Amino acid sequence: MLLMSPSTERTTPSLETPFDALQRAQHRTLHEHAYQQIREALMIGRFLPGQMMTIRGLATALQISPTPIREALHRLSTEGALRAGNNRRLMVPLLSLDEFRELRAIRLALEGLATERAVPLITAEEIAALRVSDAAIRAARRAGDVAASIRHIHQFHHCIYAAARMPTLKHLIEGLWLRGGSYLHLLFPDYAVKEQGKIRALTLAAIARGDAPGARASMQADLDQTANFLISVLEKRA
């Protein structure tokens, strides 16, 4: 083997400066920030079905440049959270009745599984957080604050799913919420007034007493009843 001495070995000088690396890190941070903010907004119903996603509007709202927004929207579109409209602009999906029924079936299976798996693993602190979220949902409903109601409902559910300690399952569930989150506002006020959180209370009670099958059954009943109400609303609009 031919070894080059230090005096004769050629090295290629790096053209990158520390500032280049810093700029790339900042860009990645901005992209991730934009992605997470838009992703959460989709899950908690801040965008409506069929709403166009404008890069300029989002950049203004998040107070960052358009490039990270564009990259975040592209990433969300590859995940199925956004679709291209007739003018090729990205939009929040409009789900057909068949798509909504499919979403219901998958959510019942996955979120039921996550709830059941969470029961033997959930901590006292997480149960306390669920009780705080439940109280916040009730307070938001009394105040007529739909946005806060949906945000706290999301927190309640995803606290349970996180307690299952199954990251892949949680990621799959979040993908389902990305597709259906824009329809959650249709639950208010009619369904919220009628249901009043009774099934959610059963789920919380089952979790607190360590009843995994009971928690799964009540969670699935909650999801099924909610989805059926939304499907009935969409059927009337069809």
Task: Quickly list DSSP for 184-210.
Answer: GGGGTTHHHHHHTTHHHHHHHHHHHTT
Which stretches of the chain score pLDDT less than 50?
Answer: 1-15, 17-25
Q: Do 104 and 162 sit in the same domain of this protein?
A: yes
Instruction: Tell me what pLDDT residue 25 has.
Output: 47
Q: Do 233 and 126 sit in the same domain of this protein?
A: yes
Angstrom distance (rounded) from CA 171 to CA 136? 25
Q: Do 109 and 162 sit in the same domain of this protein?
A: yes
Q: Do 87 and 182 sit in the same domain of this protein?
A: no
Name the token pair of 38: 């838009």
Q: Do 117 and 84 sit in the same domain of this protein?
A: no
Instruction: Tell me what pLDDT residue 27 has.
Output: 56
Q: Do 128 and 208 sit in the same domain of this protein?
A: yes
Total domain count, the chain:
2
CATH classification at residue 48: 1.10.10.10
Last residue of a domain, one of 44, 70, 91: 91
The CB density around residue 15, as the number of other CB atoms within 10 Å, is 6
> Is residue 140 assigned to a domain?
yes
Q: Do 133 and 199 sit in the same domain of this protein?
A: yes
What average pLDDT does the chain have?
A: 89
Asked if residue 52 lies in contact with residue 91, where contact means CB atoms within 8 angstroms, the answer is: yes
CATH classification at residue 215: 1.20.120.530
Last residue of a domain, one of 66, 91, 116: 91
Instruction: Tell me what pLDDT residue 87 has.
Output: 78
The DSSP-derived string for 132-172 is HHHHHHHHHHHHT-HHHHHHHHHHHHHHHHHHTT-HHHHHH
Range of 41's domain? 19-91
> Is residue 1 assigned to a domain?
no
Last residue of a domain, one of 60, 91, 122: 91
Instruction: Report CA 234 to chain centroid distance, whole Å.
Output: 22
Q: Do 47 and 118 sit in the same domain of this protein?
A: no
Q: Do 68 and 177 sit in the same domain of this protein?
A: no
> Is residue 3 assigned to a domain?
no
> Is residue 65 assigned to a domain?
yes
- Interval 14-39: pLDDT, tens: 445 443 444 444 556 888 999 999 99
> Is residue 62 assigned to a domain?
yes
